Structure 1
């Protein structure tokens, strides 16, 4: 037991605990948009599959995030990573808003279930860059802290997505609020890309235009698509 006491004394120092507290705060702040993606992706599934999609989607996201954490130094060398990720996230936000409930029968439900998990994993991989970088920075090279950071993010994403999912079912407007958060995150990623960041800093007015423009394009465009889709279905229901 002496070795265990020595290990605890050397590991759980004030600096370690401060770093762990920082990682917990980072997870709480940055895992919010991941929870929104999970809730949006699972919202059209049958209730019996929603819980499974949340759990398996989170597991897949954590696996991807673990691999990203291990390769964080290499990821930082990829030019245009944040730019491409931000543009991909805009597309994901649009697809999540315009997704239809196609789960007719077991086959359709299973297809939607797999599609939801794929969306969760891909979106988390795109958005997880900032979380990985923040946790890796706060860990200061401590593998134990990195592992604890990943473990802490799991319940935050699972519980957070369940709460958001219930709120979406009761207040559908939250779906658009959640998608808006993803759009803002996407624009932040684009403007933070090292390749173009100096240009955005030199033209500080551009981001202020990009944010409302992206919100209008994704939220307004998806609203228009959904409206056209509903109007196209009206003659079918009238004929029936």
Structure 2
């Protein structure tokens, strides 16, 4: 079977090998960059869980992220028509980054491990859904309408998130400051989504210098506020189970 027949079977009869591999390389790069954000969220949400629950949180969190991406990929055309989608998603991600930092005291109530696991998974899936907007739109654009390439993009993102989450967890344990680096990446992603929102794109184009101030202010508010709340929580005695 020659290459042209193979591409025709994949629904890409009008493609050549150069276009195929260019699109594939674009998707790989997109997943390496954007799936890294998801890995950071999974690691930060799972860091306070007991050791035996962390791997489960990573696996189930990744599974949930992939399912939401599949659903969003199927509905990508519909998603593009929702006004303010990136704006709402960016604002939600800023709140998630703040919560992940402010909850970093590590205090746990004895006997509440199931609730902690459920809370971690909820945070992971919500954050991955929000950030998945960027990923799905980017991959769909790079795939030029090819479902085959979109599926490859989803398959590539899975090992990146699992491996990246495990690595990020080890870094957080060894270097606690990694939490703030991860949160800073989430803040950057959130502000980028807000600025990319078509509804207000004209405003940013008229005052491009203001975007830099927004990045700085968001970093200060989220990282500074999260650090202050986390420090207060650490100085308070841990809650006791009733």
Q: TM-score, normalised by structure 1?
A: 0.90
Aligned mates of 2:52, 2:28 — CA distance in 1? 31
Residues 38, 57 of structure 1: 8 Å contact kept: yes
Partner of 2:120: 116
Q: Which residue of 2 aligns with 1:86?
A: 90
1:201 lines up with 2:205 in the alignment: yes
Superposition TM-score, scaled by structure 2 size: 0.90
Report deviation, 1:7: 4.9
Q: Which runs of 5+ in 2 are unaligned?
A: none
Match of 2:6 in 1: 8
2:154 equivalent in structure 1: 150
Q: Which has the higher helix share?
A: 1
Q: 1:115 to 1:232 in 2, by over 3 A?
A: closer
Cα distance, 1:233 vs. partner? Answer: 3.1
Within the candidate set 101, 106, 118, 2:106 is matched to 101
The CA RMSD measured in Å over matched residues stands at: 2.0
Please name the residue that 2:138 is paired with.
134
Displaced runs of 4 or more, over 6 A: none
**Aligned-residue offset at 1:128:** 0.9
Q: Is 1:38–1:120's contact at 8 Å kept on the other side of the alignment?
A: yes
Note if 1:77 corresponds to 2:75: no
Q: For the structure 1 residues 142 and 109, does the alpha-carbon distance in structure 2 shift closer, same or farther, using more than 3 Å as the test?
A: same
Displacement of 1:21 in angstroms is 1.8
2:166 aligned partner? 162
SS in 2 for 1:233: coil
